[in-house]
Amino acid sequence: MLREFRGRVWTFGDDVSTDHIIAGKYLGTTDAKVFAAHAFEAVDPTWSSKVQPGDVIVAGDNFGCGSSREQAPVALKTLGISGILANSFARIFFRNAINLGFPVLECPGLRAKVQPGDVIEVDMAGGEVRIPHGQVMRFTALPPNVLEILEAGGLVAKIRSDLSTKRS
Amino acid sequence: MPALTMSEKILAKASGNESVRPGQIVDGSVDLLYMHEMLAMALIPFGEIGTAKVWDPTKIVVTLDHWVPPPTPEIAKMHQTIRDFCRRQGIQRFHDVGDHGIVHQLIAERGYAHPWDLVIGSDSHTNMVGALGAFAAGIGATDTAAVMATGRLWLRVPETIRVDIRGTLGRCTGAKDVILKVIGTTGDDGARYAAVEFAGPTVGALPMNERFVLCNMTTEMGAKVGMIAADETTKRYLAHNGLPFRPISSDDGATFAKSFAFDVDGMGPQVACPSNPANLKPVEEVQGTKIDVAFLGSCTNARIEDLRIAAELLKGEKVAPGVRFQITPASQIIYRQALEEGLIEIFMDAGATFTSSTCGPCFGGHLGTLAGDEVCISSTNRNYPGRMGSPQAQVYLASPWTVTASAIHGEITDPRKV
């Protein structure tokens, strides 16, 4: 996992649901490229062709509410989004993203301070987000066990390492 | 010993602690893991973890519900993969197409979940099963793979929000109207990460089918679990499985992060308007809105009692011209009951469509999806843009009474006036 990332901002509002992120009609496959190609189609049908690897999503309250479909964070990670900063996250989306080693950070108030296309810098270890005009905002630190999963690169890597420690 | 809420008691038991407190991270031993087609997605991380066998095939239940019967060759293949996996792993409780049901309903009606259980399901509406006094939480594919491999899951002990309901429900008004009212009050993230516990005399008097509706839609409050104390009603519902019954309730003096009180005396039917489950209006304010589609289905409201309501209103009536009214039972068991009770004949005489059990229409997957200019009234649980098909479609959420009355009149209708 990148401990620091810098990226161009895409903004979203409150209550972005998993239906917004990837519609149910695309779930009849396990191919991540399909999910990526149709990400946020309900909001902007051309979004997935405009987003660039390294871009960052900044959103309002309750990002990822709705379904347990892990295809939602898979779609965004597959597109190369480096992380999501939101006022708050829905719980299953949050777990799913962390389990994929995909940074999701609660940074209340950030959404109101950035515009689409702004470039922001996120320092995971320092807990800081640098936004244009020299401003710095702090995000809520992840609980230690969650950080451990993220730093392992996801839950699969974490469990593999735990299992091999147990065996040795 | 400090006084604990129900969810705290179960997480303490599951993690081998005497007591737990909100915010604490615990490692829970899972009593029941259930899955639908998400198992196919979970097989990718499960393969990467590399344990050849699931931790305990007797603690796993699998059914097919999202795409039944499979609408594409790719999904038929997905079903094959799941079928083969269950056979190889010795998962006896695999309910294949024909013996299927929407997984939460199947778990409930087959008596697979019990009070005090830590239940983990690969679907957001796993919350429904908390109506049996279990701690039942939904997860995604990677967590599912982790539980399959290890039988354990880390969980943050949630704060508990108590929702106290009193008063007598009026005519053509039920648990769906109550939960829509609650969500409309708290917002669709009003219980984010929290356990919601329903209590009070109205809840105590509700039959199980209505208790399931309350807990089911705590998902639309952002809740981790929705719970109701397991009492005599729960005991009667589970009696057929022949297992010992152990009631559960929160201790007197347990700590609730928040408490809400609702008096339902005089409350009429409620409708959640496009495109958020918390966008609430009483039916009087939206009646007359023209509809193209009415749908009675999903884990939320497609039990036999819901179908009886539809049949009672439809008997001798016709679905309005130009409206398609689709009824999709929550399980094959309910399908058979509807057949035996003569309900299907009433639906067909009225011009409604009755289908095999599936989640299909509720999540816009197949077997009845919406065009961009269609307006739908639905007994389901979510109405975010694109949920039931086109992102431009308008979805109103309501009770079986309101959905059926609206199907008859071709516009959103107060069922008390039918």
**Once rounded to an integer, what is the mean pLDDT over residues B267-292?**
98
- For residue range B304-347, list pLDDT tens digits in order: 999 999 999 999 999 999 999 999 999 999 999 999 999 999 99
Tokens (6 digits) for B90: 């010795």
- Is B78 an interface residue toward A (CB < 8 Å)? yes
- For residue range B15-70, list pLDDT tens digits in order: 999 999 999 999 999 999 999 999 999 999 999 999 999 999 999 999 999 999 99
- Chain A nearest-CA distance from B366, in A, is 7
Closest to B139 (Cβ–Cβ): which among A27, A66, A95?
A95
Please report the pLDDT score of residue A165 as a whole number. 86
Least confident of A62-71, A125-134, B76-85, B274-283: A125-134
- Is A111 an interface residue toward B (CB < 8 Å)? no
- For residue range B128-166, list pLDDT tens digits in order: 999 999 999 999 999 999 999 999 999 999 999 999 999
Residue whose C-alpha is closest to residue A33's, from A78, A97, A68 = A78
Q: B126, B116 in Cβ contact below 8 A?
A: no
Which residues of chain A are modeled with pLDDT < 50? Answer: none
Angle among Cα B180, A73, A7 to the nearest 5 degrees reads 120
Residue B1 has pLDDT above 90, yes or no: no
The single residue listed with the structure tokens 């199947």 is B106
- Chain B nearest-CA distance from A9, in A, is 23
- For residue range B236-270, list pLDDT tens digits in order: 999 998 899 999 999 999 999 999 999 999 999 99
- For residue range A98-147, list pLDDT tens digits in order: 999 999 999 999 999 999 999 999 998 889 999 999 999 999 889 999 99
- For residue range B99-131, list pLDDT tens digits in order: 999 999 999 999 999 999 999 999 999 999 999
SS3 per residue for chain B: CCCCCHHHHHHHHHHCCCCCCCCCEEEEECCEEEECCHHHHHHHHHHHHCCCCCCCHHHEEEECCCCCCCCCHHHHHHHHHHHHHHHHHCCCCEECCCCCECHHHHHHHCCCCCCCCEEEECCHHHHHHHHHCCEEEECCHHHHHHHHHHCEEEEECCCEEEEEEECCCCCCCCHHHHHHHHHHHHCCCCCCCCEEEEECHHHHHCCHHHHHHHHHHHHHHCCCEEEECECHHHHHHHHHHCCCCCCECCCCCCCCCEEEEEECCCCCCEEECCCCCCCEEEHHHHCCCECCEEEECCCCCCCHHHHHHHHHHHCCCCCCCCCEEEECCCEHHHHHHHHHCCHHHHHHHHCCEECCCCCHHHHCCCCCCECCCCEEEECCCCCCCCCCECCCCEEEECCHHHHHHHHHHCECCCHHHC
- Is A91 an interface residue toward B (CB < 8 Å)? yes
Please report the pLDDT score of residue A2 as a whole number. 59
- Chain B nearest-CA distance from A6, in A, is 27
**Under an 8 A CB cutoff, do A25 and B391 touch?**
no
Please give the Cα distance from B145 to B156 (Å, whole number). 19
**Under an 8 A CB cutoff, do B143 and A96 touch?**
yes
Residue whose C-alpha is closest to residue A105's, from A156, A37, A56 = A56
Tokens (6 digits) for B10: 């179960």
Q: Letter for the amino acid at B255? A: T
- Is B38 an interface residue toward A (CB < 8 Å)? yes
- For residue range B373-400, list pLDDT tens digits in order: 999 999 999 999 999 999 999 999 999 9
**Under an 8 A CB cutoff, do B48 and A156 touch?**
yes
Predicted ipTM? 0.96
Residue whose C-alpha is closest to residue B24's, from B158, B219, B195, B171 = B158
Report chain B's mean pLDDT, rounded to a whole number.
98
Positive or negative: CA dihedral B43, A163, A83, B159: positive
Closest to A62 (Cβ–Cβ): which among B51, B71, B188?
B188
- For residue range B184-229, list pLDDT tens digits in order: 999 999 999 999 999 999 999 999 999 999 999 999 999 999 999 9
